Amino acid sequence: MRSLFLEIRMTVEGTLARSRFTVSRILRILEIQRSWYYRQFDCRPASDGRFNPLAVREEDWIVIGYKRRNPRMSHREIAYALMDENIAYLSTSTVY
């Protein structure tokens, strides 16, 4: 979902640079709600206690990148490899 937002953001910023449209007008043309667009800039847990599923921790990106580089490794192997290489200290259930 984040990559989709990055593409939308680049489209909006590029259109802003090339035209006199406002952000609101560009979003209306793209049929994207303003509230959704601006909420994507704030990827922290919601202040009312709800969890923002789009907020991905740094450790998650480390695991995703490691799995892409080593697709045949199981979640246990990845967890121990990350610890052995002193990259991240995560439990096997977290890596899963």
Domain boundaries, the chain: 1-55, 58-95
CB 79: neighbour CB atoms within 10 A?
22
Cβ neighbours of residue 30 under 8 Å, at least 6 residues apart?
A: 8, 11, 12
Q: Give the model confidence (pLDDT) of 37-89 as tens digits.
A: 888 876 555 555 555 555 556 777 788 888 888 889 898 998 898 888 888 78
Q: Which residues of 31-62 are buried (b: 16+ CB within 10 A; e: fewer)?
A: ebeeeebeebeeeeeeeeeeeeeeeeeeeeeb
Q: To which H or E segment does residue 11 belong?
A: helix 2-18
pTM for the whole structure: 0.43
